Amino acid sequence: MISLPRSSGILLHPTSLPGPYGIGDLGASAYRFVDWLEAHGQSIWQVLPLGPTSYGDSPYQTLSAFAGNSNLISLDLLAKDGLLQRGDLVDAPPFPRGKVDYGWIIPYHNQKLSIAWRKFKNSVDGALKLEYEQFLDEHRFWLEDFALFIALKRQHKLRPWVQWEAELRRREAASIAQARSDLAEHIDAERFRQWLFYRQWAALKSYANSKGIRLFGDLPIFVAHDSADVWARQHEYYLDQSGNPTVVAGVPPDYFSPTGQRWGNPIYRWDMIQTDGYSWWIERLKRLLNLVDYVRIDHFRGFEAYWEIPASEPTAVKGRWVEGPRAAFFGAIQSALGDLPIIAEDLGVITPGVEKLRDDFGLPGMKVLHFAWSDSANPFLPHNHRTNCIVYTGTHDNNTTRGWWENEVDERTRNFVKDYLGQDLRDIVWTLARVGMRSTARVFIMPLQDVLGLGANARMNTPGAPAGNWTWRFSESALEHPGKDALLHITRLYQRHPDQQAKPAAAQS
């Protein structure tokens, strides 16, 4: 059981930070954001998954459950370390300032990281190379398979692993050994990039923690089929002889989607994973908890029961509920790692069994205020909040609060909000922020877009939309928006400022 002090924070993925190289990174703008959080009374920076993205650019469909996104590596910090020269960066094209254009930034960053690798190989800095060797040794569990996987993907023009030669798909020993030899230089380059990411992130985390800022990370329950994890551990997933999933994950039809959601992730063979004491999962959580202070597990309810869809089905309609690993899983994780600094994303179809699993391990759940306004019994309304939960105006999957109010709320809902709050609503963003701040919940978090009062064009993700997601960025001047003063004021008013935090009490239900 974890104990969170009464506090508040901001949801912002690092890709949304400003900077000159087309995408937010772990350099100066990240440190300035930490300073901004501290100056405005915030104690938490929540991010999305940090892994390397693939087709579609979603941080929830990554090429590895362990690796970092090399596009987040700060090129300016590499220049500071002598791994790039300032002259290497003068050719930065005029990247869009308000969005991430992945097709443009990826080749540019790859080119600069290749230059850094060549300079590192020729470096005589013994301390730096010792640090690198120590990283390789510490991360061998996942790094060797990942580096080989990426090298092979590049050799195969980024095609999914199920389209490689059969002997590589099946990881036949002779073929794997030959690939490691033939692609040794490319494998080393991938190891190097991961070292850079972990090194820069560790420095940023240390700085944030020194300022009293805790990092909340995000861990999707399922992994992408085209990932190093599935390729390296095929026996732990329901796959056919060619490596394709026989069943996939999703959620059933509901009020919002008559055909449900077919995510397409392969489903774990929990019976196989349990045989070695959940070692892969323990390692996954341990590594992530080196990067962040708390972990939000996305789709927590899948550990109690998950929606299994035959891979041949085009929608999620013809699925079934299948029992998950439940308490045996969390008991094993707790035995290995101690108290679990885990937040359960308990949104969607939540059963008494899901609530019991969450509560038996003392895990905070989530309340999203955009979802609260149906009737007085709605568990997301503040009078129904538990102390041991995290309250949000909205999440990365929601519209911004202004966009939600302007585009998604009908007249009946507007009237219920006004009646519930007993006031006319002149500014829905700060009205909802006050509702969250004054909740009895331990933690309140709002996306930065809400602090800046932005509309639907600043939305981070629209579930089901085929394009246009994960691209939003803010400008350097945005943090001077007057919303910062309102944020500091209500943080103090509702006693969430670090100066007002008493010694943490035991979590309550």
Helix axes 126-138, 184-210, angle to 10 degrees: 90
State the catalytic residue, choosing from 38, 188, 397, 427. Answer: 397
What's the 3-state SS for 340-351?
CCEEECCCCCCC
- DSSP H/E element including 413: helix 411-421
Cα–Cα distance, 467 to 461 (Å, whole number): 9
CB distance 95 to 20 below 8 Å:
yes
* 298 belongs to the catalytic site: yes
State the catalytic residue, choosing from 145, 304, 345, 346. Answer: 345
Cα–Cα distance, 443 to 392 (Å, whole number): 9
* 397 belongs to the catalytic site: yes
Q: Which residues make Cβ contacts (< 8 Å) with residue 33, sequence separation at least 6?
A: 12, 17, 45, 479
State the catalytic residue, choosing from 298, 304, 308, 450. Answer: 298
CB distance 378 to 499 below 8 Å:
no
Cα–Cα distance, 193 to 83 (Å, whole number): 12
- Identity (one letter) of the amino acid at 130? L
CB distance 249 to 225 below 8 Å:
no
CB distance 267 to 308 below 8 Å:
yes
CA distances, 384 to each of 351, 375, 379, 388, 496 (Å)? 17, 12, 5, 12, 20
Active-site residues: which are they?
298, 345, 397
